[in-house]
Amino acid sequence: MQFPGELLHVFDGGVWDDDRIGEIRLPPSEITAVEFVEPARLPELLSPADARRALSALRARINSAGRALLENGQPIAPGVLDRLGVLRTARPAYHYTWHPGPAPHDLTVTQVWGWLFAPDGHVLVLLEPNTAVAILPGGTPEEHDHDDPVATLRRETEEEAAARIINPLLLGHVTDPAAQRGYLRYAAALTDIGPAQPDPATGHIYTRILATPEQAAELFGWGPATAHQLAAVHQACRQLGLPRATRQPVTELTDPNAW
């Protein structure tokens, strides 16, 4: 080969707030604009190789396994986030306002989701098949839940994740002002988890991972609005008598006895 290749580096620039973004000054030539985009849009904006590098770098940042070595933009030692292609699909834009406590009586609750803790303080995150979009366990109330959100959370956790919980604590809710809907958030401790099974409602078999609450929030892409919710999550963790999770590579739950 006349040109054997090149060695490229991608650096983590940290999280920029609005003030720092406002200080960006473009050079008089070459660069005409700066734009912040959802990671799933990178393949349409960059060359194929650069998009692969950027997405691999973002996954490595979330995974917290240290430096990731790539070949042609692909990790040499891929983890579960790489294998499933996390961030390649646009994430739902749930940038809703956080409210502690129960939802008002005049607000229709259409979803109940849970921050579910393993004994080491990590939380259970589900990755959808085909899209690898990350979600919390939970779902839509059904008639046989008898308007009990805890019953909804228990049922959905068993159906989606083959897991069981104890000591559920209501954290608060987020609201969708455009639709006058509310989404409850609970915290609970996981007691056991079985082999993955198809969700009766969708037929999906979710990939189950354990992550820190911060890693989960990065996967969800909820933005700055997540900060107050994360504070409530950590407070609930203490109430449940569990340790604060140490940031480490996310763990895929394949063996029910491995956690």
204 exposure class (CB count in 10 Å sphere: 0-12, 13-18, 19+): middle
Phi-psi region of 101 (alpha: psi -120 to 50; beta: other; left: phi over 0): left
Q: Does 7 or 153 have the greater pLDDT score?
A: 153
| Residues 137/116, Cβ–Cβ less than 8 Å | yes
Look at residue 105 and tell me whether its pLDDT is greater than 80: yes
pLDDT at 1: 60
7-14 mean pLDDT: 90
pLDDT at 107: 86
A 10 A CB-CB count for 127 gives 21
Query: Over pLDDT 70: what percentage of the chain?
Result: 98
pLDDT at 154: 97
pLDDT at 2: 72
Look at residue 103 and tell me whether its pLDDT is greater than 70: yes
Three-state DSSP state, 21: helix
110-130 mean pLDDT: 97
Q: What are the start-end ranges of the H helices in the chain? A: 18-22, 42-45, 48-63, 80-84, 149-161, 213-220, 226-239
248 exposure class (CB count in 10 Å sphere: 0-12, 13-18, 19+): middle
Query: Over pLDDT 90: what percentage of the chain?
Result: 77
Strand partners, 127: 134, 207
Average per-residue pLDDT for the chain: 93
Look at residue 72 and tell me whether its pLDDT is greater than 70: yes
A 10 A CB-CB count for 242 gives 17
212 φ/ψ angles, rounded to the nearest 5 degrees? -70, 160
102-112 mean pLDDT: 90
Look at residue 224 and tell me whether its pLDDT is greater than 90: no
